[in-house]
Amino acid sequence: MPFVPLRVLLDYAREKQFGIAAFNVNNMEQIQAICEAAQEIMAPIIIQASKGARKYTNDIFLKHLMLAAAELYPDIPMVLHQDHGSSPEVCLSAIRNGFTSVMMDGSLEEDGKTPSSFEYNVAVTRFVVDVAHSVGVSVEGELGTIGSIEKMAAGELEDAHGAVGKLTIEQLLTDPAQAVEFVRRTGVDALAVAIGTSHGAYKFTSPPTKDVLVIDRILEIHKLIPECHLVMHGSSSVPQDLLQLINKHGGSLRPAWGVPVGEIQRAIKAGVRKINVDTDLRLAMTAAIRTEFHEHPDRFDPRGYLGLGRDSMKRVCRERMEQFGQTGHAKHIPHVTCEEMAKRYLSGFYGENAKPSPVLARASAKNSH
């Protein structure tokens, strides 16, 4: 059962009105932390890897770690998702490596730094949709540039990915009318929208107000394209107790605020289905490891500190999944394989715009026989 396409999970979450955290991973302990937390509360999960994470972990290692997760947790439906694919090539290599979902981030050009034109974004995203849907893999697109309205810039880079220089308010807030056109022309299953969140720990200089975190924009967009699942990037909450633990044990993080969980819950009510969380997991691991190093400088067994890091991350994962409403849903996710999804896309089940191009669909159908 475990591997499912993103679309299946998000369709179910829409029906039951909850959100799903998408956690970033780079190594075995992080995958274990997410799976153990999911097993405790029987939650379906989205595990995602950026281009940088795939390079760090190595695709073969990542693939086999995920196969191990599927074998050990057969009751937990899992999505393996490519986070911020900067080009069609990145998405295609993810598909070849068994990912059940890919993000084609055409909001930036292939360098991952320069904001792109709308037409470029449509073209690269449509290409990835054609290929991915022909093999039943889901696609997330991005419209607008993820970044801070306080700073009018992208903020911290995520694995060297993020817009460089000053951004305009038009770039930092996804335009609802453009979102309609984008989804119509690309046929994406999910869309990352820009509403003032940014990557990294330093999202806001004080608890955010509605002027710098524009949740209402989600509602506007959701009303216009209810069939497309909305995604919130940069949605860590940056728990103050973790910052304090890190700084108490030799760290030097500046004061930082993230997206309050209450605001994420409001966003879920407004139509968000996938919530990307990375920084909180990094903070949780670092806080535990720093504390251990500081309090027990005589110890040097990696199992000791990595195990504590894993436990700390697991607590945050479980907390977020509970807060987003994932508890208990694992058993009820329909078992739909990528092969079955490919047939659905081809039949027009998800609409004309989500159909793959006829040539690719024919090639994929031939290969599956």
CB 20 within 8 A of CB 13: yes
Give least dist CB 235 to Zn ion, A. Answer: 9
Total residues at interface with Zn ion (CB under 5 A): 1
| Max Cα distance, the chain (Å) | 64
Structure tokens at 74: 């057969």
CB 32 within 8 A of CB 23: no
**Contact characters 152-181, Zn ion, x per CB under 5 A:** ------------------------------
Give least dist CB 310 to Zn ion, A. Answer: 23
Give least dist CB 40 to Zn ion, A. Answer: 27
- Catalytic residue flag (residue 83): yes
The secondary structure of 198-214 as a DSSP string is -BSS-SBSSS--TTTS-
**Contact characters 198-237, Zn ion, x per CB under 5 A:** -----------------------------------x----
**Chain center to CA of 102:** 10
11, 59, 75, 83: the catalytic one is 83
C-beta nearest to Zn ion: residue: 233
Give least dist CB 89 to Zn ion, A. Answer: 19
Main-chain dihedrals φ then ψ at residue 127, nearest 5 degrees: -60, -45
Q: Which is nearer to Zn ion, 233 or 314 (CB)?
A: 233
Please count the CA atoms within 13 angstroms of the CA of 247 that sit on its side-chain side: 11
Q: Which is nearer to Zn ion, 144 or 309 (CB)?
A: 144
Closest to 222 (Cα-Cα) out of 176, 264, 157, 254: 176
Q: What distance in Å separates the CA atoms of residue 134 and residue 116, rounded to the nearest whole number?
A: 26
Helical spans, DSSP H, in 109-196: 118-134, 169-172, 176-186
Closest to 106 (Cα-Cα) out of 192, 180, 233, 46: 192
Give least dist CB 301 to Zn ion, A. Answer: 35
Q: Which is nearer to Zn ion, 235 or 291 (CB)?
A: 235
Main-chain dihedrals φ then ψ at residue 347, nearest 5 degrees: -80, -10
Site for Zn ion in 275-334 (CB under 5 A): none
Q: What distance in Å separates the CA atoms of residue 89 and residue 157, rounded to the nearest whole number?
A: 21
Where along the sequence are the contacts to Zn ion (CB under 5 A)?
A: 233
- Catalytic residue ranges: 83
